[in-house]
Each structure stands twice: as C-alpha cells, then as structure tokens.
Homo-oligomer: A and B are copies of this chain.
Amino acid sequence: MLDYSEIDSILRALVEPTRRQILERLTRGPATVSQLAEPFGMTFAAVLQHLQALEACGLIRSEKIGRVRTCRIEPGGLAPLADWIAERRIPAERHLDRLGQILAETDPKDQSPKKNQDKDQKQ
C-alpha cells in the first residue's frame, strides 16, 4: 500500500538538519525563499536545493507569484512516514514474548535504565 520510495524520499529529506529547521520554520507560517535563506549562513542556491528536496517528497508546497516564491507546509506531508512507523511499531510490540524481560529491565527498581547487562559491549 505504502510507496516504499516515498518513505525513502521523506526520510532522505528529513535526515538533513537544515531541512528539518526549514520545516520547523514553515510550521510557524509561510515564508519566501529569501526569508528562509536569511537565518542560515548559507547561499540562496543551497537553500533552494533544500526546498526542492522538501517539495519533491511532498513535505512542503511552494507557489511563485511575480518574482517571489512563497513556501508553506504541506499538511499531510508527514502522514506516509507516520503510517510507516505505526505499521512497524505494532508487530514489534507483538514480539514481547521474549522481550518482556528486557522491558522489565527498564523498571525504576533497576538503577541502570538501559544498556547494562550486556555481557559484551566493546570487545
């Protein structure tokens, strides 16, 4: 059902911190390319490339009026990734047969919350 390459392009877009920042900026409202470029110590062209990546995978939408391009969040853009995660969390939570004990280790009564009783960790 889910387009695998869609997930791929969304993840590739989100993995870049600059693009995540652009996305956060746009959640506070639309912005032009120059407004988006300004806070980053980065050229216009670089920001433009990020915007193209974000738009290509449907995370943002842009519209050019006159010589000004205005970008805004695409509301459903993160939905495919959210769905992908949801689909993978359910089966994972089903494998609690053997994992019950591991979950139990994260209890407050255990002073070391995670990553402890591995009898290995670095040679």
Contacts and interface: CB of A to CB of B under 8 A. Distances in A.
Q: What is the copy number of this chain in the assembly?
A: 2
Contacts of A45: none
Interface residues of A, number: 44
A108 B10 CA distance: 25
B63 A92 contact: no
B15 A91 contact: no
Contacts of A118: 62-64
Interface of A: 8, 11-12, 14-15, 17, 23-24, 27-30, 58, 61-65, 69, 72-73, 75, 77-79, 81-82, 85-86, 88-89, 91-93, 95-96, 98-99, 102-103, 114, 118-120
